[in-house]
Amino acid sequence: MIIIKSPREIEAMRRAGAIVGRFFEEVKTLIRPGSTTLSLEEFAEEFVGRHGVKGAFKGYLGYPANLCTSINEEVVHGIPSRNRQLREGDIVSIDFGVVMDGYYGDAARTYAVGRIPESSLRLMRVTEEGLSRAIESTRPGNRIGDVSAAVQETAEKAGFSVVRDFVGHGIGRALHEEPQVPNFGAPGTGPRITPGMVLAIEPMVNEGGHAVEVLADGWTVVTRDRKRSAHFEHMVAVTEEGCMILSLP
């Protein structure tokens, strides 16, 4: 069931999303060669305490951290560790969420660690462009397939592939609600987009093939061909006029 949010609920989610957006503005100063992913997690722990919110991921289905920190060929759900050090030329995707007043905020960004290969820079740009085009397609009267197709067309036109095993989603009082928002699909298909929907749209784009697998830790998803992957996510609310990004500071 797709849950339509009232203006009051959307405002509550905007407040939660703004805190998430603020986190990404602050954490980017720590993305540098030599930092460990555990140091980013420790910053996130301090951040949620400072803002009086709860981390959305820690404890969710047993996940052990506030952040997902996924490096290079890791697509999503990389677990922070003192043994994972960022190196010059890496890219790292950070996924972070909070719960505030009973409502969730959720977003993700991929960062360059120092100077990165041009191919990785292009991968990040195309993934972010796919997110922008998907957001533009999120308007009343369209369908979820229009959003999905915008991501797929952007990625594949650039010679990349989209992950098919993990998708975006509705969000509200639960982290994952209906509808699912795949990063592939046909225009004009799927549920109709209506005012009051709140969606977490999150392109995951691979340099190589779309196939992925889960490592032995039970969480970390990697590309099967071990080529790099980028991940960007915004939480958006559908309005009468179009949509509004909620996960900005």
Q: Report the pLDDT value the prediction gives residue 170, as an integer from 0 to 100.
A: 98
Mean predicted confidence (pLDDT) in 221-246: 97
Where does the pLDDT of residue 83 fall: very low under 50, low under 70, confident under 90, or very high at 90 and above?
very high
CATH of 7-245, one of 3.30.450.20, 3.90.230.10, 3.40.50.460, 3.30.470.10: 3.90.230.10
What's the confidence (pLDDT) of residue 27? 98
- Please give the single-letter amino acid code of residue 45: E
Enter the tokens of residue 216: 């032995």
Q: Are 93 and 231 in contact (CB under 8 A)?
A: yes
Q: pLDDT tens, 168-224?
A: 999 999 999 999 999 999 999 999 999 999 999 999 999 999 999 999 999 999 999
Say what the pLDDT of residue 191 is.
98
How many angstroms separate the Cα of 62 from the Cα of each of 59, 97, 222, 241? 5, 15, 20, 39
The tens digit of pLDDT for each residue in 30-68 reads 999 999 999 999 999 999 999 999 999 999 999 999 999
- Helices 118-136 and 144-157 meet at what angle, rounded to 10? 160
CB 200 within 8 A of CB 56: no
Of 113, 18, 38, 126, the C-alpha closest to 82 is 38
What percentage of residues in the chain have a pLDDT greater than 70? 100
Do 162 and 204 touch, CB atoms closer than 8 A? yes
pTM > 0.95: yes
Domain boundaries defined on the chain: 7-245
- What is the rounded average pLDDT for all residues in the chain? 98
Return the closest-CA partner of residue 235 out of 194, 181, 155, 160: 181
